[in-house]
Amino acid sequence: MSQAQLIQGNEACVKGALAAGCRFYGGYPITPSSEIAEQMVRLLPDLGGVFIQMEDEIASLASVIGASLAGSKAMTATSGPGFSLMQEHIGYAAMTEVPCVVVNVMRGGPSTGLPTSPSQGDVMQARWGTHGDHPAIVLAPSSVAEVFDVTVKAFNLAERFRTPVIILYDEIIGHTRESVVLPDSIEVVDRVQPTDAPADFWPMIAPDDGVPPLPAFGDGYRFHVTGLAHDERGFPTNDAQVAEALVARLHNKIDAHLDEVIEVDTYMVDDAEIAVFAYGIVGRSAREAVMRARDNGIKAGLIRPVTLWPFPYEQVAEVAAQVDTILVAEMNLGQIIGEVERAAAGKAEIKGYLRADGEPITPTALLEAITPDKEGQR
C-alpha cells in the first residue's frame, strides 16, 4: 500500500494521467488549471513523454489529437474560456474518433468572469458546446483522490471507445490539498489495434462493439482521417445513409456500454424522503448536509453522479421513484437540473439550490434548504 501524500487536485490529475499512460501534454496557461501544465513539464520528459506549451487552446487540443494519432495517450487542461476555444476540436475528436482527455477546471463565467472562483458553469458546454450530434463522456470528481481515479478512468474510456473524454472539476478541487493514498496498481486500457494486414485495412469498419481499431501513424497502416462525414474507408462522403450510419454508430458505441461509463455514488437514499442531487465539490457539501440532516432526524439522502454525461437517467429515475423531493444543488443558474427533471418525469418534486456568484455552496446552506420550516415546507 502506498503512503499517504498531501497533494493538490491538479497534481492528482497529473499523477492519474501519467499512471494511465499519458505521454503527451499540449496546453496553454489559464487559471485555475495551470498547475497541471507546470507539473507535466517536470514529469513527462523523464518518462519519454512530450510537453509543449502551444500558442492557444485551439492549438493545444489540435496538438493532442495529432499526438494521439501518432499513438500517444494525450491530454490537455484548461478552464472556461479556453474550454470554449477547444470546442471545435472536441467535435473533431468525436467525429474522427481520436482518443484524448480534456480537463476543464471550471471557474466563474461567462467570459473571463471570475478567474479564481469556483463554478460549475460548463456542464452544458461540456455536453453541447461543439456543433452537431455527437456523444460525450464527462466525468466530475469531487475530491483530490477521486480526481486521480477519474483521470485514470478518463484515459481508459477514451482508449476503449476512441472518443474525447472531458473531466470537469472546479477551482476548489483543483487547488485543494488533501491527504490521499494512491493505489499501487491500476487497470490500464489501450486502444485496440487492427488484425488485418495493412493492404486490407479500412479504418472505419467497426466490429460489433462499434469501436474500430486504431493503428498509429507510421506503423505501416496508411489511412485517411477527416472531420467530414466519411465512409468505412475513412473517405469523405455526402451520402445521407452513410452519414447517418456513422453518427448513429458514434452514439451507439457508448450508449450500448453505459454500464462501463456511468458511475453514480448514492448515500442513504433507501429510506430517504428528500435526496440531494449534487456533483463535484458540491457533492461533498451535500454529503455533509445529509449527515447533519440525519442527525436532526430528517430522512435525507444523496445522489452524486461521477459521470455527468451520458446522464444517469435510470439511476436518477430510481431515486425519484423512492423520494418525495430531489434538491438539485449546483454552482450555476440551473444546468443539470433540467436533466434531473427529465429523469424524474414527475415522480418527485424537483427543487434547485443554485448560485453563480463564485462562492461555494456550503453544507450549512444545504442543510437549511433540506430542513422543513414550521409549516413543513422546504
Partner 1 sequence: MTDVKTYLREWAMPHVLCPGCAHGIVLRSFLNAVDQLQIDQDKLAMVAGIGCSSRLVGYVDFCTLHGTHGRAPAFATGLKLARPDLKVVVVTGDGDALAIGGNHLIHAARRNIDITVLLLNNSIYGMTGGQAAPTTPEGALASTTPAGNTEPNFDACKLLMGAGASFVARVLAANPMDMTKVMADGLDHPGFSFIEVISDCPEYFGRYNKVGGGAEMLTWMSVRDEGVAGPLAEKRFVNHIPIESVPSGMETGVLQREIRPVYAGVRKVEDHES
For partner 1, the binding residues (CB under 8 A) are 23-24, 26, 41-42, 45-46, 50-52, 54-56, 58-60, 62-72, 74, 88-89, 92, 216-228, 233, 235-236
Q: Judging by DSSP bridges, how do beta strands 137-139 and 164-170 pair with one another? A: parallel
What is the b/e burial string over 339-350, where b = at least 16 CB atoms within 10 angstroms of the residue's CB? bbbebbeebbeb
CB of 225 to partner 1, least distance (A): 5
CB of 316 to partner 1, least distance (A): 35
Residue nearer to partner 1 on the CB measure, 161 or 221 = 221
Residue nearer to partner 1 on the CB measure, 239 or 357 = 239
3-state secondary structure at position 324: coil
State how far the alpha carbon of 190 is from the alpha carbons of 46, 59, 161, 256, in Å.
21, 25, 10, 19
Residue nearer to partner 1 on the CB measure, 59 or 147 = 59
Which residues have C-beta within 8 Å of that of residue 118, sequence separation ≥ 6? 106, 107, 108, 170, 171, 172, 281, 331, 358, 360
CB 298 within 8 A of CB 340: no
CB 343 within 8 A of CB 316: yes
CB of 325 to partner 1, least distance (A): 45
CB 239 within 8 A of CB 231: yes
Residue nearer to partner 1 on the CB measure, 235 or 313 = 235
CB of 140 to partner 1, least distance (A): 27
Q: List the one residue out of 95, 105, 10 whose CA is nearest residue 57.
A: 105
Residue nearer to partner 1 on the CB measure, 27 or 108 = 27
The rounded distance, in Å, linking the Cα atoms of 51 and 154 is: 19
CB of 219 to partner 1, least distance (A): 8
CB of 54 to partner 1, least distance (A): 6
Residue nearer to partner 1 on the CB measure, 71 or 283 = 71
